[in-house]
Amino acid sequence: MPAQEKRVTWAELFFDLVFVVAVTQVSGLLHDDHSWPGAARALVVFVPIYWAWVGTTMHANLHDVDRTRARLGVFAVGLCGLFMALALPEAYESHGLLFGASYWAARLLLFAMMRRSYRGVGFNPFTAAAFVTGPLLTLGGLADGDVRVALWALAAGVDLLVPFLARRRMARIAYEPSHLPERFGLFLIIALGESVAEACKVAAEQPATPARLAAVAVAFAVACALWWVYFVFAAGAIRYALRTAEVAMEVIRPVLPYGHLGFIGGIIAVAAATGEVILHPLEHPRADTAALLFGGTALYLATFGYTRWQMFHTVSTTRLSAAALCLALLPLATYVPALAAMAALAAVLVALNAWEARTAHRYEDPERDFPYPNVERRTA
């Protein structure tokens, strides 16, 4: 590990502002259509946006993006991301070509910027996106209806599959381990911020009744509890796993790009449902709203089971149990007012955090860099 750890730059933080807009737009799509097909369409357009962000983050990890040329490259990708975000509300209607062509332009830029770093690794996410998924998204933008959805879904699937297929070739790439957990944690903060923003936006457009204000307070408690689950316990474990892994890519690939897709997808689902609860706090939630609220939280918590297994080959009993409890409460949520259902969810998350704080306290070291109990430490 280098003597001085690589830190996130101001250029990267500015670049992230584009993706605040993008996450808001994806959440809006999900808010407008809670159905399973609607959720699938939101996921299909979110994957390219997320993958463009991941590609830029990998570029920033391997290069000094405080240099003028690299900084301008990051901003150029950011402009492409902004066009994608602008196209999202009508991506399946009149703005499909803008969405697809913007993604292809972003991937061509990233391919040009990363070509030297991946010399000798011809099959990698940057070549696949520049020459396969980018053209597929652009062709999809020219198509209509189900053909567009099918082409974009195929492109999203290829983007997700390539890092797994190329994992052995990419193992030779020397990523800087301290920078990546910080970057992915910041993207998760963007998603959590969107959930808070959605709550405020919906509440501001309606009368400030006591029930609605209570719903805003409970929604904020849910967001805080989701933050707590990740940043108080899991973030330190990810840094520790990267520092001590024999092959960093074997942790980077499954835990960061793949694992955080699950985390962020769950948060976006919760954000979309939160808006519905605040809009109608005393009405019984519809089944699709309850599915987003409890199912999104279950996905978020269950993903910790996946990432912990990938890092330490141990089972995250508490979080998987809490995920199962969320799924068990899901069918019951439609029989109570939406505010009560969200309060029950908040209670589950607060109880989970309280239990983990109690059990992990005596295992934590002063630097809080390894807060998982019952996991054998590895020497670096």
CB burial string 216-227: b at 16+ within 10 A, e below: bebbbbbbbbbb
Residue bearing tokens 């007012």: 337
Work out the pLDDT band at 366, boundaries 50, 70, 90.
Answer: very low
Mean pLDDT over the full length of the chain: 89
Work out the pLDDT band at 367, boundaries 50, 70, 90.
Answer: very low
Q: Across residues 18-41, what is the average pLDDT? A: 89
Domain boundaries, the chain: 1-176, 179-380
Phi first, then psi: what are they for 284, rounded to 5°?
-70, 130
How many CB atoms are located within 10 Å of the residue 197 CB?
15
Burial of residue 132, with CB atoms counted within 10 A of its CB: 0-12 exposed, 13-18 middle, 19 or more buried: middle
User: What pLDDT, on a 0 to 100 scale, did the predictor assign at position 80?
Assistant: 97
Res 38 pLDDT > 50: yes
Q: pLDDT over 90 for what percent of the chain?
A: 65
Q: Across residues 5-13, what is the average pLDDT? A: 87
User: What pLDDT, on a 0 to 100 scale, did the predictor assign at position 361?
Assistant: 59
Res 167 pLDDT > 90: no
The residue that leads in pLDDT, 31 or 54, is 54
Res 226 pLDDT > 70: yes
User: What pLDDT, on a 0 to 100 scale, did the predictor assign at position 369?
Assistant: 43
User: What pLDDT, on a 0 to 100 scale, did the predictor assign at position 43?
Assistant: 94
Q: 170-184, 263-277, 289-303 — which is least confidently predicted? A: 170-184
Q: Across residues 213-226, what is the average pLDDT? A: 96
Res 279 pLDDT > 70: yes
**According to the per-residue pLDDT averaged within each range, which of 30-44, 70-84, 107-121, 162-176 is highest?**
70-84
User: What pLDDT, on a 0 to 100 scale, did the predictor assign at position 240?
Assistant: 85
Work out the pLDDT band at 374, boundaries 50, 70, 90.
Answer: very low
Burial of residue 364, with CB atoms counted within 10 A of its CB: 0-12 exposed, 13-18 middle, 19 or more buried: middle
* C-alpha distances in Å from residue 327, one per residue of 46, 192, 320: 24, 21, 11
Q: Residues 354, 229: contact at Cβ < 8 Å?
A: no
**According to the per-residue pLDDT averaged within each range, which of 7-11, 97-101, 190-194, 198-202 is highest?**
97-101
For 67-93, how does the pLDDT look when each residue is reduced to its tens digit (9 = 90+)?
A: 999 999 999 999 999 999 999 999 999
Res 319 pLDDT > 80: yes
Res 120 pLDDT > 80: no
Q: Residues 141, 122: contact at Cβ < 8 Å?
A: no
The residue that leads in pLDDT, 370 or 109, is 109
For 73-78, which contacts have Cβ atoms below 8 Å and span 24 or more sequence positions? 73/109, 73/113, 74/11, 74/12, 74/15, 75/11, 75/14, 75/15, 76/109, 77/15, 77/52, 77/106, 77/109, 77/110, 78/14, 78/15, 78/18
pTM: 0.89
